[in-house]
Amino acid sequence: MLTTLVSIGNSRGVRIPKPLLNESGLGDEVELQVKKGEIRILAAPAKSRQVSSTLLLSEKTLATDWNRPEEEEAWASLQ
């Protein structure tokens, strides 16, 4: 399919017809790969839900700071 580049602000873009988008299965996020003479549009890789070690350290620190018997006693007296 031949198409033309259109102006979009200071950039240029391509309008992708809805039937092509439906057939491709692309979502809202895509990855662009560039090689000489071509630009590929690929489905964005799935975001991994890895937990950083810093976050785990923070949770451990918070647990030791917040889970103290004297804290529980203080809150109990306020209820």
pLDDT band at 60 (very low <50, low <70, confident <90, very high): low
Q: What is the pTM of this model?
A: 0.52
Number of domains in the chain: 1
**Domain presence at residue 68:** no
Range of the domain at 27: 6-43
| More confident site: 73 or 22 | 22
**Domain presence at residue 58:** no
Residue 53 in this model has a pLDDT that exceeds 70: no
Please report, for the chain, how many H helices and E strands are present, in that order. 3, 4
**Domain presence at residue 60:** no
**Domain presence at residue 31:** yes
Computed on alpha carbons and rounded to an integer, the radius of gyration of the chain in Å comes to 26
**Domain presence at residue 30:** yes
CA–CA dist 68, 79 (Å, integer): 17
Amino acid at site 19: P
**Domain presence at residue 29:** yes
CA–CA dist 72, 79 (Å, integer): 11
Q: What is the pLDDT of residue 76?
A: 78
**Domain presence at residue 13:** yes
**Domain presence at residue 1:** no
Residue 74 in this model has a pLDDT that exceeds 70: yes
Measured between alpha carbons, how far is residue 78 from residues 18, 30, 67, 69 in Å?
A: 61, 53, 17, 15
Express each pLDDT in 3-25 by its tens digit: 999 999 999 999 999 999 999 98
